[in-house]
Chains A and B, each alone.
Chain A
Amino acid sequence: MTSRFELTRNITIGQYIPTGSVIHQFEASLKLLSFAILVVGIAICSSYTGNLILLAFSIALFGIARIPIHYGISGIKPALPFMIILSLMQLLFYGQAAQGETTLFQFGFILITTSSVQLVIVSAMRFIEIILVSSVLTLSTSTTEMTHGLEHLLKPLKYIKFPVYEFSLIITIAIRFVPTFAMEMEKLMKAQASRGAEFGTGKWWQIVRKTKDTFPLIIPLFSSAMERAEDLILAMESRCYTPGLKRTSYRQYKIALRDFLLLIITTLFSIFIVFYKFTY
């Protein structure tokens, strides 16, 4: 039996599974761009067949990246309630907007047509596809690579005086400290539980009590975040960090031919999925 305090176990942000597959080796900025294009393709494609192909493709990505599929599934789980509510809403209220289709069921204002059923199924599939694809992206790209990629992509914005380096640094720091704060939180929960605190036992209507229950966690967490921030500033300044200066990086990221191939293939694939007229 595992401890119910093992918070770090559930943190997937910044989790990286180094299997060294082809997908891991792509350069991060073009990988990100390809990912964005693929997501656009997923978002537009509304046919059953297209989505089945995309779903199969997303699952295949796990195989290519040699990442166990249960990582993707554990990403879907927390989104399930949201997906169910969304599907219900669409099923109940979308029928009116798409009239003139074959009616499957009608009761009062509730109108279910073939197109609203299709919408429900397709959006559920889209959801799963996007979660799977983004899981592969984050699991196969380390946070350093990711922020580097982002920095690379945002570089053109420098011409309109957008602080690209600072922005990517902020993101790096934010991601870097997620596991740290999770550990801190874990320790605080344990410490307060040792003093008789109970978490998650209040009923949902006891809002005041539930809020009060979080004080012993939130307040120390907040103050330690402040202290950490101060320490970090000192540590950075003592290592001569100056905002606005040009910085070089220890690791060089080179874009190779295969990275462009990835981009081109993904783009073509997305165009095909979106524009090809599937029968279903």
Chain B
Amino acid sequence: MSEEKIIEIKNLEYIYMQHTPLEHQALSGINMEVNRGECIAIIGHTGSGKSTLIQHLNGLMQPQKGKIIVDGEDLSDSNVDLKALRRKVGLVFQNPESQIFEHLIGDEVAYGPFKLGLPLNEVRKRVKWAMEMVGLSFNEMKDRPTYALSGGQKRKVALAGVLALKPEILVLDEPTAGLDPYSKNELLEKIKKLNREEKITVIFISHNLEEVSFLAHRLYVLANGKNLVDGTPNDLFSNKEILEKYKIGTPDSVDILYKLKDAGFSINPRLFDVSCVAAQIFSILSTYQRRVTDDISV
């Protein structure tokens, strides 16, 4: 991974409904740096400013205070080319399936590329690529009606619609919220592939810490419009003080490890991947096997 910074955010602040009695400070000093090719998770409780933050990244909101630099371009500049920016930064909203409006899947995915004014064969190429990327077969699915799809498939179509713009940075707001476990895992695999193989920089919001540890290189914890702490999932999840101090919660696997540790077993909390946890439990079990079998026979 190159260390080139693709996004730099400095002291970003934002107030909703400014100068009305309903005004509300959503962001109060965000600092963030994202390197090219990284996969960044943003976690935080409802109302911590996550969604407001990511809407700044493609210019849907302009910074009221502070600075955002995306790929060398300062977004507080009022004559920044928004179209070019939105092509570069693909933003997928929460429940993106609600934005589907075309009758056929292919047309839906092609909306973005057509809006860019690309020639037909290029549009076709992009639609094919985007659909295959999210695991929808182009030949089979492009002429299917959108309304007959399942929730998970609709979400894939919506994701493909953004991917067809060929963004360098993909920003996702709770990509797996409300999906069944199978579609969830499938979608996570696709996002991982986009990041690791296609080298697209990914920033995603999530409440699910398993998801974060599966995907992210680094994560930022937001609360009350500020970023409190950041680091790799390994550093944060294995540090119980940080977990408790910032009320992050723990992934189930980490939870199990800490419970074992409290019970007096020797474990390594840094190895919280599900398979590692299984291996650790297995080794504990084999050490104490005699005692366990004794217990069972009693």
Interface residues of A (CB under 8 A from B): 1-3, 5-6, 8-9, 17, 187-188, 190-198, 215-216, 219-220, 224
Contacts and interface: CB of A to CB of B under 8 A. Distances in A.
B83 interface: yes
B111 A191 contact: no
Given A191-B93, A195-B112, A196-B115, A220 B165 contact: no
Interface of B: 16-18, 20-21, 55, 58, 60-62, 64, 78, 83, 86-87, 90-93, 96, 98-101, 111-112, 115-116, 161-162, 165
Given A194-B86, A195-B161, A216-B101, A9 B93 contact: no
Contacts, number: 69
Given A3-B60, A5-B60, A215-B101, A193 B86 contact: yes
Given A1-B78, A2-B18, A190-B93, A195 B98 contact: no
Closest 3 CB pairs of A and B: A196-B115, A219-B101, A194-B91
A194 B60 contact: yes
B113 to A, nearest CB: 8
Contact of B98 (A5, A197, A224): A224
Query: Looking at B101, B111, B116, which has the most chain A CB atoms within 10 Å of its CB?
Result: B101
29 contacts: A1-B62, A1-B64, A3-B55, A3-B61, A5-B60, A6-B16, A6-B17, A9-B17, A9-B20, A190-B60, A190-B93, A191-B99, A193-B60, A194-B90, A194-B92, A194-B162, A195-B86, A195-B111, A195-B115, A195-B161, A195-B162, A195-B165, A196-B83, A196-B86, A196-B87, A196-B115, A198-B115, A216-B101, A224-B98
Given A196-B111, A196-B116, 11 more contacts: A5-B60, A17-B21, A187-B93, A190-B60, A191-B99, A194-B60, A195-B112, A195-B161, A196-B165, A198-B83, A220-B98
B50 to A, nearest CB: 15
B115 A197 contact: yes
A198 B117 CA distance: 13
A193 to B, nearest CB: 7
A206 B19 CA distance: 37
Contacts of A9: 17, 20
Contact of B112 (A1, A187, A196, A219): A196
Contacts of B62: 1, 3
